[in-house]
Amino acid sequence: MKGKEYKILNFILPVVVVFALVILWWRAAKTIDNQYILPSVKSTVEEFFALFKSRDFYRAFSNTLFRSLVAFTVSFVIAFALAVATLKVRYVKSAVSPLISIMRALPTIAIVLLLLFWTNSKIAPVIVTALVVLPTSYTQIDGAFSSLDKMVVEAGRVDGANEFKVFLKIELPMIMPMVFSCIGSGISLNFKLMVAAEVISQTAYSLGYMLNTSKIYFETATMLALVLATVVFGVLIETLFNKLSSKSGEWK
C-alpha cells in the first residue's frame, strides 16, 4: 500500500506544482494587464499551438535539435572515454580533474563571443554547449563507475574473465541505469544551452533566432511559447530516458 501511495503522490505533486505556477502566472498577468510585459496564459497557449502550424518553427527546431545532438554526442563520447580511462588507468583522474574544473568554470557568454571570432554562428553554439555539458557528463559517469560493487567485479575476475569481459559483461551493465539518466539530462541540458548560445550568436534558422526576432518585435507571447516548447521537449526527453534507466536496472 505504501508503494501505491508513493506512486500516487509522485504523480499528483508535480501536477499540483504546475497548476499552482499557472494560477500564479494568470494572476500576475491579470494584475499587470500588459501583453508586452507579461502575456496572459491564454494568449501564450494559443501562440504555442500556433507554432506547430508554422514551417519556420519546424525548420528552426530541427536545426537546433541537430546541433544539440552533435554537441551532446561529442561531449558524451569524450566524457565516457575519460571516465573509463579513470577507472582503468591509475593517476588519470589526477590529470583529468584540472581540465574538468577549468571547463566547468568557463564563462559561457565570453566563450561564445570568442568562438564567433574563430568560427561562425552555426559552429560556435555546438562547441560551447559541448564544453559546458562535458564536465557534467564526466562527473555522472565517473560517479557511476566509482559506485560499482567491487565484490561482483572481483568475482568476475576470479571466474577467469579478462578485463575486457569484466567491463563489457559486468561493469557496463551495472552502470547502464546511470548512463541512460545521464543521456536524458544531458540532451535536455544541451538543448536549452544550444538555444541560449544561438540567441547570443544570432544563428540563422534556429530557435534562438526566432527568440531574437520575437524580442525585436515585442512579441512576448511568442517568446514565452518558444520557451514553453523548449521546456516541454526537455521534460519529454528526460522522462523517456528515466524510463529506460528504470528498465535497464531491472536485471538486478
Q: Are residues 19 and 128 both part of a single domain?
A: no
Q: Which letter, b or e, does each residue of 186-201 get, where b requires 16 or more Cβ atoms within 10 Å of its Cβ?
A: bbbbbbbbbbbbbbbb
Residue 80 included in any domain? yes
Q: Which residue has the cell 534558422?
A: 205
Residue 38 included in any domain? no
pLDDT in tens, 94-144: 888 888 888 888 888 888 889 988 999 999 999 999 999 999 999 999 988
Q: Are residues 63 and 150 both part of a single domain?
A: yes
Q: What is the pLDDT of residue 1?
A: 47
pLDDT at 88 over 90: no
Q: Are residues 117 and 240 both part of a single domain?
A: yes
Q: For the chain, how many structural domains are there in total?
A: 2
Q: What is the pLDDT of residue 250?
A: 53
Q: What is the pLDDT of residue 6?
A: 64
Residue 106 included in any domain? yes
pLDDT in tens, 178-197: 889 899 999 999 999 999 99
Q: Are residues 119 and 233 both part of a single domain?
A: yes
Residue 198 included in any domain? yes
Cα–Cα distance, 91 to 85 (Å, whole number): 10
Q: Are residues 48 and 173 both part of a single domain?
A: yes
Q: Are residues 15 and 71 both part of a single domain?
A: no
Q: Are residues 26 and 52 both part of a single domain?
A: no
Cα–Cα distance, 148 to 165 (Å, whole number): 15
> What size, in residues, is the chain?
252
165 φ, ψ (degrees, to nearest 5): -70, -35
Q: Are residues 28 and 51 both part of a single domain?
A: no
Task: Work out whether the CA dihedral 110, 115, 121, 122 comes out positive or negative.
Answer: negative
Q: Are residues 16 and 64 both part of a single domain?
A: no
Question: What's the alpha-carbon Rg for the chain, to the nearest Å?
Answer: 22
Q: Are residues 116 and 211 both part of a single domain?
A: yes
Q: Are residues 28 and 54 both part of a single domain?
A: no
List the domain range (segments joined by +) for residue 224.
43-248
Closest CA to 83 of 99, 101, 102, 96: 96
